[in-house]
Amino acid sequence: MRQKIRKKKQTKLLREFRKIHRITGAALFIFFFFVCTTGLMLGWKKNSGDLILPKTHIGTASDFKNWLPVDSLHTIACNVLHDSVSSELSLELDKIDIRKNEGIIKFVFADHYLEIQLDGTSGEVLNIQKRISDLVEDIHDGSVVDHYFGTSGEPVKLIYTSIMGLALFTFTLTGFWLWYGPKRIKKQNRAAKNIKHK
């Protein structure tokens, strides 16, 4: 009798987990699609042949003694952005990436995902290109919405990553039980049959 009650409970639990698994998958399907697609792109960004992440060019010298001051290089990058791309683009920086060994400096602009690579010694423009990887990263973690609406503190990113993290945890838990539950029930059934035969 106890065995039957336990079996019923396990079967009911299995049914509930299957339902949760199905509902979570259906409700968040489009978000999982974005997360897996963007995750793949980010994983391959350095091996995308310059499509997702601009190739790092090589400058003339890696010794900082030969370099122009960073503020001078910044001024050059801003002038290049306005003269060669568009005078209407924002000059707000997202980051400055100094690559000493390559002899270059990258200026990455915040509002339009553009990167300008300069030779640290001469200030020569080595590359102007959109950083698709930064856009993909913003889509991946949901901050693209905060970026678009200009919200401070990235609330959309926090809510989105929390939901996706909890969903992944739920999927892992219910998926494990959907795999392990039937095995456990079969094992108990075999044990019960062996007891009967004895």
Residues 28 and 63 in one domain: no
CATH code of the domain in which 93 resides: 3.10.450
pTM flag (> 0.85): no
Overall domain count for the chain: 2
Q: Is residue 137 part of a domain?
A: no
CA–CA separation, 80 and 128 (whole Å): 9
- What is the reported pLDDT for 69? 97
CA–CA separation, 5 and 34 (whole Å): 43
Residues 29 and 72 in one domain: no
Q: Is residue 139 part of a domain?
A: no
Percent of the chain with pLDDT strictly greater than 90: 63
- What is the reported pLDDT for 194? 67
Residues 77 and 115 in one domain: yes
Which portions of the chain are predicted below pLDDT 50? none
Q: Is residue 159 part of a domain?
A: yes
Burial of 81 (0-12, 13-18, 19+ CB in 10 A): buried
CA 173 to chain centre: 22
Token pair, residue 75, equals 């001024």
Q: Is residue 138 part of a domain?
A: no
Longest dimension (CA), the chain: 90
Residue span of the structural domain in which 175 resides: 1-48+153-198
Residues 86 and 21 in one domain: no
Residues 58 and 109 in one domain: yes
- What is the reported pLDDT for 60? 94
* Torsion over CA: 138, 143, 149, 150 (sign): negative
Residues 34 and 59 in one domain: no
Q: Is residue 143 part of a domain?
A: no
